């Protein structure tokens, strides 16, 4: 699922969101966020 999301973000040319999402996954900082807060963080 995460790879699909990363691919879609890159395809839509949302490079900043792609990098932030990838970094959040790699550091494990996605656990404390709800979906709404995580999307707000990416935006």
Residue spans of the domains in the chain: they are 2-42
pLDDT at 9: 92
* Nearest-angstrom CA–CA distance, 11 and 41: 20
If one compares 1 and 16, the residue with the highest pLDDT of the two is: 16
Angle value at C-alpha 23, between 37 and 9, nearest 5 degrees: 75
* Nearest-angstrom CA–CA distance, 31 and 25: 9
pLDDT at 2: 84
Tell me the two tokens of residue 24: 């959040």
If one compares 28 and 19, the residue with the highest pLDDT of the two is: 19
């Amino acid at each position: 699922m995460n790879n699909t999301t990363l691919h879609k973000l890159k395809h839509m040319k949302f490079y900043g969101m792609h990098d932030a999402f990838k970094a959040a996954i790699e550091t494990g900082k996605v656990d404390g966020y709800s979906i709404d807060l995580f999307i707000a963080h990416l935006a």
